[in-house]
Amino acid sequence: MRTTLNIPDALINDLVIETGEKNKSRLMKTALEEMLRTIRRKRLISMSGNIDLDITEDELAADRALDMI
């Protein structure tokens, strides 16, 4: 999708320096994906201890072992 954004040049330049990415579209895509990952990670962390899965660690380990086969 094409869109027009007003992003400060200093911010773009800092991202280019830090990442080495020269393509602005890829730079923005990567930055947005990372922001989304961060938000989702924080949401999952905040849910820690709030979900009862009704499964023990041993059962979970056994399930994971079966997935490896």
Of 20, 17, 15, 7, nearest to 31 by C-alpha is: 15
pLDDT digits (tens, 9 = 90+) for 1-46: 889 999 999 999 999 999 999 999 999 999 999 999 999 999 988 8
In the predicted structure, residue 51 carries a pLDDT above the cut 90: no
Provide the pLDDT for residue 14: 96
Q: Which residues contact 27 (CB under 8 A, 6 or more apart)?
A: 12, 15, 16, 19, 21
| Region label for 54, one of left (φ > 0), alpha (ψ between -120 and 50) or beta (otherwise) | left
Does the pTM surpass 0.75? The reply is no
